A and B are shown apart, each in its own frame.
Chain A
Amino acid sequence: MIDFEEELKKYQPIPETGDVEELVYNKELTDMTDIMKEMLKDSRNKRQ
């Protein structure tokens, strides 16, 4: 059985074109290659 009020809470506003700047600025761009580089850097520092 679908509960209208509970379902309504799950709906979020959609970003408009005016929010593009904020979206780009807040975008998390760290990826696995960045994490891998950090790990390699840490291991090199530890070795030294």
Chain B
Amino acid sequence: MLTDAPVCPNCGEDITIYRRIIWISNAHYNEGLERAKVRDLSGAAESLNKSLKYNKRNIEARNLLGLVYYELGRVGEALSEWIISANINPEENAAAGYMKELQKDREGFERLNQEVKKYNQCLKYLQSGNDDLAILQLRKAVSANTKLVEVYQLLGLILLKNEQRSGAKQCFQKAYRLDRGNIRTQKYIASMRSRDAAASDEKLNEPVDVGESISYTHGNDTIIQPSPHAFRDSSALPAILNILIGIAVGAAIIWFLVVPARIQAIKEEANSSTLSYSDDISSKDAQIDNLNKQLETAQNDVQTAQASSNASAAVISSYEQLLTMNTEYTSGSYDSVTIAKALVSIDRTALSSEGQALYDKLKDNVSSKAVASLFTSGKKSYTNKNYADAVSTLEEAEAIDNTYGSGELLYYLAMSYQEAGSTDKAKTTYQQIISTYPGTSIATEAQNSLTALGSTQQ
């Protein structure tokens, strides 16, 4: 940290010149600040740039320069100054706060950027001779109250070229209000004033008819000479007629020339607005379509992933069950019925070839015993008139091996359905016996039972 001494307390180097440089930098900063306060933004930018030329670490000057550029609508240059400022001094720097404000107001930030883009586009139009398109864009920017001084200067210049002096004057005045120190604006205004002054001087020098003599000024002299007209017509009628004819001609000019042109201009503006809105709508529609497609794709991906996940979970569950049953079987003390029922619930097709081999081996080892046990139990339940239990047990046996007993299992199941009141299932099972074991005694019994139930099919 430097003290008031003329040398550096660390290295002992003479810092008189360094202090001088800092002092000059600060002086330019103060000048820039004063200019900014009175809206001389161009002058403020010039002074602040000078301040930074002396001391690039003058953070106050750099931040203020960013603000001046922002106020002039030059948001890109404003950002660049604040970024450099934040890099030079990251701690407690107002530049970070300005950039955060810009980030918060995304809409405003985008609007400023669009204004700059449109201005650059107008410049290209003018440079390629498309004055009409440029005027359209510039008028839009002006009606949106842009802060870009160049927009008003350009539009005023074009209006001046087209002899629309009143419109041009308004543009230059607006530009002046935005940035009082802008040299270009001052030059345009001065040029218009001098041309206006010259036009009014000429008017002053026109001869004035004073009664029977004519008087006019020439430099500092006033010259009076006799009027060439010897008499005056004292009748008022021609004067009145002239006035009426003038009014009629004026009205005709307005009706046939001015009004159509104005209507045409309004129509063109409406058309261009419609086109612009149509473009916006089309663009938004395209965006919406695109987003909908992305959403659909994402939903499909989710569904696919979900299905895949479910399938994987089913496979894992099948393997887990298979291994558990195999462990129980190899332990020696196992229940055939439990293992057979578990095997029924496993999806064999989801297993690998090794898994399927293990599945088949287990099934072969336990199926016959399990089915026999279940059939015996189911038959006993039927005999004891416990038809609900009989159906449940015989269904389990059928699931393991529906060919057991060459149709006897199915026959008892059908009878159990019939007694339990499930007539449709009974009929279906009788028909299954008839079609699977034709010509056997079991099939004949099944046919008789079916006939008794009132079915005509064979």
Give A residues with C-beta under 8 Å from B.
1-2, 4, 7-8, 10-11, 13-20, 23-24, 27, 29-34, 36, 40
Contact = CB atoms under 8 A, between A and B. Distances in A.
Contacts of B157: 2, 4, 7-8
28 contacts: A1-B195, A2-B160, A2-B188, A4-B158, A4-B160, A8-B126, A14-B74, A14-B76, A14-B120, A15-B116, A16-B117, A16-B120, A17-B75, A17-B76, A19-B76, A20-B83, A24-B83, A27-B80, A31-B52, A31-B53, A31-B54, A32-B21, A32-B53, A32-B54, A33-B21, A33-B54, A33-B57, A36-B17
Interface in B24-70: 24-25, 52-57
Contact of B76 (A4, A10, A23): A23
Contacts of B184: 10
Contacts of B54: 31-33
Contacts of B25: 32
A32 B51 CA distance: 10
A16 B123 CA distance: 14
Given A2-B157, A8-B157, A20-B79, A15 B195 contact: no
A15 B153 CA distance: 18
Given A17-B76, A40-B13, 4 more contacts: A17-B79, A20-B76, A20-B79, A24-B84
Interface string B140-177: 00000000101001100110110000000000000000
A4 B161 contact: yes
Most central of B57, B80, B161, B191 by chain A CB within 10 Å: B80
Interface of B: 13, 17-18, 21, 24-25, 52-57, 73-77, 79-80, 83-84, 109, 113, 116-117, 119-120, 123, 126-127, 148, 150, 153-154, 157-158, 160-161, 184, 188, 191, 195
A23 B21 contact: no
Nearest to A5: B161
Contacts of A19: 76
B21 A8 contact: no
A27 B84 CA distance: 9
Given A15-B77, A27-B80, A1 B53 contact: no
A29 B195 CA distance: 44
A33 B25 CA distance: 11
Contacts of A31: 52-57
Given A23-B80, A32-B55, A15 B74 contact: yes
Which 6 A-B pairs have CB atoms at the shortest separation, nearest pair first? Answer: A15-B76, A23-B80, A31-B56, A13-B120, A4-B161, A32-B54
B74 A11 contact: no
Contacts of A10: 184
Given A2-B188, A8-B127, A17 B53 contact: no
Contacts of B153: 11
A23 B154 CA distance: 25
Contacts of B57: 31, 33
Nearest to B24: A32
A14 B148 CA distance: 10
Contacts of B17: 36
Contacts of B76: 14-20, 23
Contacts of B56: 29-31, 33-34
A29 B153 CA distance: 31
Contacts of A27: 80, 84
B150 A11 contact: yes
Nearest to A10: B184
Contacts of B52: 31
Given A31-B56, A36-B17, A13 B75 contact: no
A2 B161 CA distance: 9
Contacts of A16: 76, 113, 116-117, 120
A14 B126 contact: no
Contact of A11 (B79, B154, B161): B154
Contacts of A20: 76, 79-80, 83
Nearest to A26: B80
A29 B120 CA distance: 27
Contacts of A32: 21, 24-25, 53-55
A13 B120 CA distance: 5
Most central of A10, A29, A30 by chain B CB within 10 Å: A29
